[in-house]
């Protein structure tokens, strides 16, 4: 025990924050890797005219992630955030390798890959739920936006990494190219597993399980001021005491009780809007989008994903700089408005000028990605990590993650079908309208959380529930 304690004291806060957010690399890589692998896979398996099958192969990971997020959220409340992140890394390693060694047996190959990628999605969804919850519980309130934004930086870095790998492997024989692209996802999963082995458990989870001594020890790694540690422990204990006094048993119905409904709707709604706004249509299919716009082969357009990836990484760094300088709601509304216009304007210009340069839509997509990268992309996960009360955080984070992945899955599935039946400008205009609806949702349904402790945010939700109960017409 003493040896373990000495080993734990060597853990730096930088190490904790880095590997606490490293899970984002996993699903960032898998979000991006199919962008480059798909053109080679289509050619190798002769799927150029199979829009629905291509949609299923691309979106299978997101379909599995729907269930992975909800399952991990429940299990993390029982076993802890750290153990579930370790389990996710193992699952990710196994099914990344199985994706790369898909047997070549005709049409059955596509169904094999769909099933394997669905199982891989369990780990991707788990990471998307666990990492924000873990980071929000480790970060101090004044820096929570910036540190939680590390998750987004990791996600987009994973995407950029996959784009670069795709580009470097594009000159290999087609079959080897896409297999290596998919299989190499096991490498960041192994790094995550080895790093998380040394991570401590979340202090809020430890205190909830009654281990105050260990919770205090973990806080001592990441809080410099002893008074701050005492205050934070007291605040968490007070919240836990109120929950015990209420003798509340958390269930799915609890999420939508009067006390929690406001915050749950806000968090889950933002998570859902992030994906239904259509960002992943760009990330999954940008080579095919450029192909349709210019007539150039998709496999020769693998530089465009790298351009998008660089924009995303720069945007995530911009977000970390401004995260705690502007209100969350302000950034979401400004970002959503520009994103919506970036999707709608190409359709308007094309209607007014039918001979519009086909690359105009790609330029507007870059503007969309730029604003998405420092607003909705990181802030969704910051809000998901900080807006849910302790008693329901695991379940609610899982539910938000699942709705996010439902949107991601549907966008990945139907985008190739939609673009096969209507102009690309019209498809993106639909997503633009959804962006504007997202702005309205944030303005009317989402509370401000910047600078508030997790316990203060919970009190906002409780007070809002009381006001609604006493004024049902509002």
- Identify the pLDDT of residue 272: 93
Does the pLDDT value for residue 323 go beyond 50?
A: yes
Tokens of 89: 């890394």
The rounded Cα 18 to chain-centroid distance in angstroms is: 16
What are the residues whose beta carbons fall under 8 Å from the beta carbon of 423, sequence distance 6 or more?
347, 350
Secondary structure tally for the chain: helices H, strands E = 21, 0
- What's the pLDDT at 3? 39
| Cα–Cα nearest to 30, from 152, 134, 161 | 161
Tell me: the pLDDT tens digits for 336-369? 999 999 999 988 988 888 777 777 888 899 999 9
Give the residue, 148 or 380, on which the prediction is more confident: 380
Residue 147 has which token pair? 């540190």
Q: Which of 466, 278, 261, 454 is nearest to 361 (CA)?
A: 278
**pLDDT at 203 > cutoff 70:** yes
pLDDT at position 49, please?
76
**CATH assignment of 15-470, among 1.25.40.10, 3.40.220.10, 1.10.10.10, 1.20.1250.20:** 1.20.1250.20
Listed as own residue / partner, the contacts of 345-349 with beta carbons closer than 8 Å and 24 or more positions apart are: 346/425, 346/428, 346/429, 347/423, 347/425, 347/426, 347/428, 347/429, 347/432
Q: 3-state SS of the chain? A: CHHHHHHHHCCCHHHHHHHHHCHHHHHHHHHHHHHHHHHHHHHHHCCCCCHHHHHHHHHHHHHHHHHHHHHHHHHHHHHCHHHHHHHHHHHHHHHHHHHHCCCCCCHHHHHHHHHHHHHHHHHHHHHHHHHHHHHHHHCCHHHHHHHHHHHHHHHHHHHHHHHHHHHHHCCCCHHHHHHHHHHCCHHHHHHHHHHHCCCCCCHHHHHHCCCHHHHHHHHHHHCCCHHHHHHHHHHHHHHHHHHHHCCCCCCHHHHHCCCCHHHHHHHHHHHHHHHHCCHHHHHHHHHHHHHHHHCCCHHHCCHHHHHHHHHHHHHHHHHHHHCCCCCHHHHHHHHHHHHHHHHHHHHHHHHHCCCCCCCHHHHHHHHHHHHHHHCHHHHHHHHHHHCCCHHHHHHHHHHHHHHHHHHHHHHHHHHHHHHHHCCHHHHHHHHHHHHHHHHHHHHHHCCCCCCCCHHHHHHHHHHHHHHHHHCCCC
Whether 266 has a pLDDT exceeding 50, the answer reads yes
Categorize the per-residue pLDDT at 190 as very low, low, confident or very high, splitting at 50, 70 and 90: very high
pLDDT of residue 146: 67
389 against 247, higher pLDDT: 389
Rounded CA-CA distance 202/204 in Å is 5
Structure tokens of 415? 């985008």
The pLDDT assigned to 152 comes to 75
- Res. 413: pLDDT tops 60: yes
Which of 225-229, 283-287, 403-407 is predicted with the least confidence, judged by mean pLDDT?
225-229
Q: Which residues contact 30 (CB under 8 A, 6 or more apart)?
A: 61, 96, 120, 124, 158, 162, 185
Mean pLDDT over the full length of the chain:
82
Average the pLDDT over 453-461 and give the result: 72
Q: Taking the chain, what is the end-to-end CA distance rounded to the nearest angstrom?
A: 56
Q: How far apart are CA 17 and CA 148, in angstroms?
A: 9
Across the range 261-269, mean pLDDT stands at 90
Kindly report the number of other CB atoms within 10 A of residue 138's CB atom.
27
Q: Which percentage of the chain shows pLDDT scores above 70?
A: 88
- Is the pLDDT reported for residue 129 higher than 90? no
Taking the C-alpha atoms of residue 81 and residue 72, their distance in angstroms, rounded to an integer, is 9
Task: Name which of 23-32, 60-69, 141-150 the model is least confident about.
Answer: 141-150
pLDDT-derived band at 7, boundaries 50, 70, 90: very low
Residue 198, both tokens: 């040394």
DSSP three-state, residue 182? helix
The pLDDT of residue 247 is above 50: no
Q: Are 214 and 226 in contact (CB under 8 A)?
A: no
The confidence band for 268, taking pLDDT boundaries of 50, 70 and 90, is very high
Compute φ and ψ for 122, nearest 5 degrees: -55, -40
For 82: left if phi > 0, alpha if psi spans -120 to 50, otherwise beta; the answer is: alpha
d(CA 420, CA 433): 20
Q: Are 89 and 26 in contact (CB under 8 A)?
A: yes
71: confidence class by pLDDT, cuts 50, 70, 90: confident
pLDDT tens for each residue of 11-64: 777 788 888 888 888 878 887 888 888 888 888 888 877 778 888 998 898 888
Question: Residue 269's closest CA among 90, 103, 446, 111?
Answer: 446
Given this model, what pLDDT does residue 5 score? Answer: 42
Enumerate residues 6+ apart whose C-beta is below 8 A from 111. none
Answer whether residue 224 shows pLDDT above 80.
Answer: no
pLDDT exceeds 80 at position 444 = yes
Query: Which tens digits make up the pLDDT trace of 301-312?
Result: 788 889 889 999
Q: Which of 445, 458, 33 is nearest to 272 (CA)?
A: 445
pLDDT at 469: 42
pLDDT at 1 (0 to 100): 40
Residue ranges covered by each domain of the chain:
15-470
């Amino acid at each position: 025990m003493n040896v373990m304690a000495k080993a734990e004291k060597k853990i730096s806060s930088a190490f904790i924050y880095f590997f606490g957010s490293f899970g984002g690399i996993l699903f960032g890589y898998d979000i991006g890797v199919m962008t480059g692998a798909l053109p080679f896979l289509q050619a190798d398996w002769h799927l150029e005219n199979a829009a629905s099958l291509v949609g299923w192969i691309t979106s299978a990971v997101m379909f599995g992630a729907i269930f992975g997020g909800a399952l991990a959220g429940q299990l993390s409340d029982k076993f802890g955030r750290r153990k579930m992140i370790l389990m996710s890394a193992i699952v990710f390693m196994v099914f990344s390798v199985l994706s790369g060694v898909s047997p070549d047996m005709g049409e059955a190959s596509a169904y094999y890959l769909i099933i394997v990628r669905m199982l891989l999605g369990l780990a991707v969804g788990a990471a998307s739920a666990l990492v924000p919850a873990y980071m929000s519980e480790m970060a101090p309130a004044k820096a929570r936006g910036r540190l939680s934004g590390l998750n987004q930086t990791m996600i987009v870095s994973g995407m950029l990494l996959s784009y670069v790998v795709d580009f470097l492997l594009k000159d290999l024989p087609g079959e080897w190219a896409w297999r290596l692209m998919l299989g190499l996802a096991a490498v960041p999963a192994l790094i995550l597993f080895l790093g998380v082995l040394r991570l401590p458990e979340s202090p809020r989870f430890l205190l909830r399980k009654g281990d105050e001594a260990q919770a205090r020890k973990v806080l001592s790694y990441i809080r410099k001021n002893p008074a701050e540690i005492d205050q934070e422990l007291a605040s968490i204990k007070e919240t836990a005491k109120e929950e015990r006094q209420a003798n509340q048993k958390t269930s799915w119905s609890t999420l939508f009780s009067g006390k929690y409904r406001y915050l749950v709707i806000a968090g889950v709604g933002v998570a859902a809007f992030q994906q239904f706004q259509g960002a992943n249509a760009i990330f999954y299919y940008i080579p095919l989008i450029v192909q349709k716009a210019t007539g150039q082969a998709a496999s020769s357009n693998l530089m465009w994903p790298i351009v998008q990836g660089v924009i995303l990484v720069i945007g995530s760094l911009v977000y970390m700089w401004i995260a705690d300088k502007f209100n969350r709601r302000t950034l979401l509304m400004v970002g959503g408005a520009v994103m919506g216009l970036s999707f709608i304007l190409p359709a308007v210009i094309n209607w007014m000028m039918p001979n519009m340069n086909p690359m105009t839509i790609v330029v507007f997509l870059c503007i969309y990605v730029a604003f998405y990268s420092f607003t909705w992309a990181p802030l969704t996960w910051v809000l998901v990590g900080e807006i849910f009360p302790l008693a329901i955080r695991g379940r609610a984070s899982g539910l938000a993650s699942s709705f996010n992945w439902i949107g991601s899955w549907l966008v990945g599935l139907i985008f190739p079908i939609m673009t096969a039946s209507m102009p690309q400008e019209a498809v993106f205009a639909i997503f633009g309208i959804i962006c504007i609806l997202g702005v309205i949702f944030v303005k009317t349904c989402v509370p401000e959380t910047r600078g508030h402790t997790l316990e203060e945010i919970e009190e906002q939700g409780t007070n809002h529930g009381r006001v609604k109960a006493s004024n049902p017409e509002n």
